[in-house]
């Protein structure tokens, strides 16, 4: 692939990803959604994040028991609103201890 073709592909990919985000912002910038719809849209990222992370937790270690222990430890630590680094290392530590003990 020569440089002009590559540049064309990159520019078109940028346009294809930018336009669907820009058009609603420009056309619907003055429209105020109802409170229920606003609340619904605010909670979507959490639901999607959970759906993406959960299968990864189950298959991460190759052993479902240690994976679930690590995931549960991370959820408990996150429930207490601890720092993200503490949550991650707590989950890793729980998996490590479960692997050693079982």
| Number of domains, the chain | 1
Please report, in tens digits, the pLDDT of each residue of the chain (102 residues total).
788 999 999 999 999 999 999 998 888 878 888 999 888 888 888 888 888 889 999 999 999 999 999 999 999 999 999 999 999 999 999 999 999 998
What are the start-end ranges of the E strands in the chain?
A: none
80 within domain boundaries: yes
Measure the CA dihedral 20/24/25/27, to 10°. Answer: 130
* 93-96 contacts, C-beta under 8 A, 24 or more apart: 94/69, 94/70, 95/60, 95/61, 95/66, 95/67, 95/69, 95/70
Q: Residue 25 domain-assigned?
A: no
Q: Has residue 23 been placed in a domain?
A: no
Q: Check if the beta carbon of residue 68 is closer than 8 Å to that of residue 58.
A: yes
- Helices and strands in the chain, H and E counts: 4, 0
Tell me the three state secondary structure of residue 99: helix
Is 70 among the domain residues? yes
Q: What is the pTM of this model?
A: 0.58
Domain assignment present for residue 61? The answer is yes
- In eight-state DSSP terms, residue 1 is -
Whether 33 is in a domain gets the answer no
Whether residue 53 lies inside any domain: the answer is yes
Query: Which structural domain range is residue 91 located in?
Result: 46-101
Residue 94 lies in a domain: yes
């Amino acid at each position: 692939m020569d440089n002009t073709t590559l540049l064309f592909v990159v520019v078109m990919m940028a346009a294809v990803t930018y336009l669907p985000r820009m058009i609603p912002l420009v056309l619907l910038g003055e429209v105020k959604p109802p409170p229920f719809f606003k609340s619904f849209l605010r909670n979507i990222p959490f639901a999607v994040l959970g759906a993406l992370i959960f299968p990864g937790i189950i298959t991460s270690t190759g052993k479902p028991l240690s994976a679930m222990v690590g995931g549960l430890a991370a959820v408990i630590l996150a429930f207490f609103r601890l720092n993200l680094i503490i949550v991650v290392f707590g989950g890793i530590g729980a998996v490590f201890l479960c692997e050693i003990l079982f």
